[in-house]
Structure formats: C-alpha cells, structure tokens
Structure 1
Amino acid sequence: MRRLLLALPFALLTPAVAQAHEHDHDHEQGSLGAHEHGVAQLNAVLDGKTLELELESPAMNLVGFEHDARSDADKAKVAAVRAELEKPLALFDLPGTAGCKVTSQELASPLFGTDEQHDEHAKGHDHDHSEIHAHYQFECANPSALKTLDLAGLFQRFPATLKIQVQLIGPNGQQGAELSASNASLSF
C-alpha cells in the first residue's frame, strides 16, 4: 500500500514505542500494533481538505476466522466483508456537509489474495494471525464540517471488534484514544 500522509507523523505519537523499535529490528514490530483479537488500530490524518484513514485489524474481528477461506461459506463471508470495507463512507459515517469523496482506497489481506505488501513478511510466517489492512483517502470540500470521527458504523457492522485504538492528527494537533461501541467517536 502506498503511504501518503500517514508515512510521517505517527512516530511522533508514541516515543516509547519508537524507542522500543530502535532496539528491536524485527519486522513484526513495525506493524501498527500487536495482534490482539477484538482490538483494531486506526490512524487518521486530516490535512487541509485531505482525510486519510488506515485501519488494521485481525481478520478474526471482521470475518470471524483467520484461516484461508476454503469452504463456500467462508469465501462468501470474506467477499461480504470485503464489500463492506469497499464502502468507507458508510463505515465511517462522515457528515454529508463535509462533502467528502473517496479518492483512493486499498485493501490487503492474505484472505483477499491481494497482500503483495506483506508477501515478504508472510514468508515463513504463520497465517494463523491474518490481518486485514484498509487504507482510504478522501477529499473533503468542506473539511471544517468534520467535527468528529464517528466509528459507530464500524462497531455495528463488525461486532467482534470490541476496541479500536485511534491515533488522530487534525487541526488541533495529535491525540490518541481507545474507542468502543459505547464510546465510538473522537473530536478532530
């Protein structure tokens, strides 16, 4: 996946993690967070009219399993989840007044068979811990209408996702929060 705005700022958010990375060069440590069922990570950057969102989640949270989809039922479940992830305006419930349009989106997971970015990482790596990565970029005609990042739709569609650890950079600076279905929004 291309890294656009997200390439730069997130090392600033967690200096302790950054220091740990200096001492541990294992590629596994470079992901957004540890693989923990029920927990996903979301990075969000609002820069001018551009909103960028990057979601990383264990496949278990979204499809209910992590093995390769072999049965027709499993394949149908993966296809349904992929279709949901391909509609980010529904998932992230951006206000219509913001006038946001999707300018790019990329999905990657071993389950989708489109995981070129992680092929190198996957060699010799057990697929029991399949991740799903979704990366979206929006252009918003009226970004001042983006008052909050509301993840209620995401929690409703994927109830096995219990917590989403959010790192957000917006006009008011950087913030981090752990959101849940009962506390699903964060102000920009």
Structure 2
Amino acid sequence: MRRLLLALPFALLPLAVAHAADEHDHDHEHGSLGAHEHGVGRLNAVLEAQTLELELESPAMNLVGFEHTATTDADKAKVAAVRAQLEKPVALFSLAKAAGCEVASQKLESPLFGDKPEADDDHDEDAKDEHHHDHSEIHAHYSFTCATPGALKTLDLANIFNTFPATQKIQVQLIGPSGQQGVEVTAKAAALKF
C-alpha cells in the first residue's frame, strides 16, 4: 500500500499545477501548490484489491468554524464534536454496506487537536509559527479493509457537505480499478465513480 501512496504526489501534479496556475493571481504570497483556501478541502482516495485509503485535508475553518486554539468551553466542545464525527468514517463517506469495509487504521491530526504543526520548509522559524497560527488544517487518514470491494461503485461525499456545511468543494484525486481521475466535487454533485 505504501508504494501506491508514494505514487500519489505524481498523480496530483497535473491538477495541482493547473490549480496553482488558476490561483496564482489570488494567492501568490503563499507560493505553495497546496493553497489554504477556506471552503475547499482535498481528498485522496486509493482503492487497490481489498484496501481503501482515504486522506482528507481541510482548513479547520471548514469543519469547526474557526482556526485558533480552542480555549473556551464552547470552542472545545465544537472541536470534540468534529473529532467524534471524523472518527466515524464509514458513515461520513457513505461507504456501501455491501462492500463490508471496516476501518483498519485511522489517524487524525491538527493543531486544534493538540498536535504540533508540521515543519514548513518555505518559511523561517518566526514566520512558521505565524503561518500555522493563521492557517490551521485538519488531516484525517483512513485505511479500510473491504470484504467485497467490487460493491464500492461510487464515493459519495454528500455526508461531508451535510455535516460540514462550510465546505463548498472538495478536490478529489481518485485511483481505482478504472484508473486515475481528478475531480472537483460540490454538495450538488457529491458522488464520483470508482
């Protein structure tokens, strides 16, 4: 499975480069391909044999409604509620029951969950702290073992849009039995075929 995930950056290049060209005028102070854009999430999905890997990245603003460290009880409750929703990926991603997918592993990371921000090579030490303070991300990585992967006909993200209404679109890179595709999905068109 590792080698498939290693192949993902290459799969992402055409979309990322095209996206960077579109975003160049709006977001040129960041200079990175993975522009932090409120309302926009990213999902990598790989289905190989009986293993389904899903990797969701989103600005915290899309999921919890803020990006600062939770200090008030209300903010802490909101972060805990979002984390609980992210810990139920079979429901969140509407995986077909017939596929018999079970979570083999899951990992949630975010400064909001008390994780240290990852090192950012583009910035020096002072700017790094400031950059991450302004732009908290939430990363969720799931690995499923599916008894009947052929039953996974579509990946339906409607529940993500319903659960997190501040998410307006998700840029999806999907590698499955029918090949590789890069699609931007919205709440009105939230499903794509494997």
Q: Look up the match of 2:10.
A: 11
Shift of 1:16: 7.2
Cα drift, residue 12 of structure 1: 2.9
Aligned to 1:49: 50
Gaps of at least 5 residues in structure 2 are 21-29
3-state SS of paired residue (1:134): strand
| Cα offsets for 1:82-134 (capped at 9, x unmatched) | 0000000110010000000000000000000124xx44239533211100000
Q: Aligned-residue CA RMSD in angstroms?
A: 2.2
2:157 is matched with 151
Q: TM-score, normalised by structure 2?
A: 0.84
Structure 2 counterpart SS, 1:103 = strand
Provide the C-alpha distance between the structure 2 equivalents of 1:71 and 1:28, rounded to a whole number of angstroms.
34
Closer, same or farther: CA 110–40 of 1 in aligned 2, 3 Å: same
Deviation at 1:15, TM superposition (A): 3.8
| Distance in 2, Cα, partners of 1:74 & 1:134 | 20
User: Which runs of no fewer than 5 residues in structure 1 stay unpaired?
Assistant: 21-26
Q: Distance in 1 between matches of 2:3 and 2:109?
A: 16
Inter-partner Cα distance in structure 1 for 2:35 and 2:143: 24
Correspondence for 2:37: 36
Which residue of 166, 172, 191 corresponds with 1:166?
A: 172
Pairwise CA distance, 1:8: 1.9
Would you say how many aligned residue pairs link Structure 1 and Structure 2?
176
Query: In 1, Cα distance between the equivalents of 2:168 and 2:65?
Result: 13
Greater mean deviation of Cα atoms: 159-168 or 4-13:
4-13
Indicate the percent of aligned positions where both proteins have the same amino acid. Answer: 65
Deviation digits for residues 158-182 of structure 1 (CA, Å, limit 9, x no counterpart)? 0000000000000011001111111
Structure 2 residue corresponding to 1:142, chosen from 141, 148, 153: 148
